[in-house]
A and B are shown apart, each in its own frame.
Chain A
Amino acid sequence: MNAIEAVNAHLVLASRFENIEVAERALHDLCATAGCDGEQLYWVVTALREAMANAVGHGNRLQPERKVHVDLSVDSSAVTIRIDDEGEGFDPSLIPDPTVPENLLRPSGRGIFYMQQFMNRVQFSRTPGGGTSVLMVKHLQPTTRSAENEKPSPRSR
């Protein structure tokens, strides 16, 4: 991918799961503009969807008057995503490791794990209003790789 200037988008969305699709479409559009590789994009979109689901469901508790603020930035070297909710915040260190045997059959608690696996950087903080802000960065590989060549070591994606 040739070096390009960053393309950006800022979305303010009502807290509905349907709006995950809106954020996904916006990211697809930016990445198409930036020429982001489709294989890498798949995993970035997966992380975006998890962060959106957390903001809508856990953060804003599906209250439509509470908004989800989405900032997307794509350039030739990285995809950067920040998602802020208007909830009460939480401590991500309290989320148990979903891959240890005693947690494998838990039906929930894998969202943050997904994000951490598929992005190079995932950082949680508090918004000024007390909600949760998550910043995620994915460094883009300069060459296209096919799904068949991908190994199941997510941080390589």
Chain B
Amino acid sequence: MKSQVRDRGDVRIVELSGKITIGSGDVKIRELIDEALAAGKKNIVLDLAGVSTIDSSGIGEMVACYTTVTKKGGHLKLLRLSPKINDILQVTQLITVFEVFDDEAEAVRSYG
């Protein structure tokens, strides 16, 4: 898995690409979220446009990060799901947990 991080105002944008799978990508997500929180960035958008595969460990880590960020008073939101990642969030019912956006500017504006 590869990642690129940038900030738009108070919002941390984390672009992910490749596989988010057990033993590699799942750990990396946790590190990226911990780095954002350590930098005082509690509003975080995960851009998943480049993600080809996410296994149950990757999904589990996203859920754990969602809980961590929420407990810190922030919000973790998702941006640009591929059709397959969207399918996975649908079948796991996690589409009801995460706020999902197709447009980055709209995601940033949602933080008010």
A, B co-complexed = yes
Contact count A vs B, C-beta below 8 Å: 68
A28 contacts B by Cβ under 8 Å: no
List of A residues within 8 angstroms of B92 by Cβ:
98-99, 110, 113
Q: In the bound complex, do residue A17 and residue B23 qualify as a contact, i.e. CB atoms below 8 Å apart?
A: yes
List of B residues within 8 angstroms of A148 by Cβ:
83
Q: In the bound complex, do residue A152 and residue B90 qualify as a contact, i.e. CB atoms below 8 Å apart?
A: yes
Q: In the bound complex, do residue B91 and residue A117 qualify as a contact, i.e. CB atoms below 8 Å apart?
A: yes
Annotate B60-75 by CB proximity to A: 1 below 8 A, 0 otherwise.
1101101100000000
Task: List 5 A-B pairs, Cβ < 8 Å.
Answer: A20-B23, A98-B92, A99-B93, A105-B66, A114-B55
List of B residues within 8 angstroms of A42 by Cβ:
84
Q: List 10 additional A-B contacts (Cβ < 8 Å) besides A46-B53, A152-B90, A154-B87.
A: A49-B53, A57-B22, A104-B94, A106-B60, A107-B60, A107-B63, A107-B67, A110-B92, A111-B55, A114-B56
Grouping DSSP codes into helix (H, G, I), strand (E, B) and loop, the B interface class, with mixed when no group exceeds half, is: helix
Interface residues of A (CB under 8 A from B): 17-18, 20, 42, 46, 49-50, 53, 57, 98-99, 104-111, 113-114, 117, 147-148, 150, 152, 154
Interface residues of B (CB under 8 A from A): 21-24, 53, 55-57, 59-61, 63-64, 66-67, 83-84, 86-87, 90-94, 96-97
Q: In the bound complex, do residue B67 and residue A17 qualify as a contact, i.e. CB atoms below 8 Å apart?
A: no
A157: nearest residue on chain B (CB-CB)?
B87
Select one of B23, B53, B60 contacting A108, CB under 8 A. Answer: B60
Minimum C-beta distance from A94 to chain B (A):
17
Q: In the bound complex, do residue B86 and residue A152 qualify as a contact, i.e. CB atoms below 8 Å apart?
A: yes
List of B residues within 8 angstroms of A20 by Cβ:
21-23
CA A150 – CA B90 in complex, angstroms? 13
CA A143 – CA B87 in complex, angstroms? 20
B62: nearest residue on chain A (CB-CB)?
A107
B89: nearest residue on chain A (CB-CB)?
A152
CA A109 – CA B57 in complex, angstroms? 9
Minimum C-beta distance from A23 to chain B (A):
13
Q: In the bound complex, do residue A104 and residue B56 qualify as a contact, i.e. CB atoms below 8 Å apart?
A: no
A148: nearest residue on chain B (CB-CB)?
B83
Select one of A108, A111, A152 contacting B87, CB under 8 A. Answer: A152
Minimum C-beta distance from A38 to chain B (A):
12
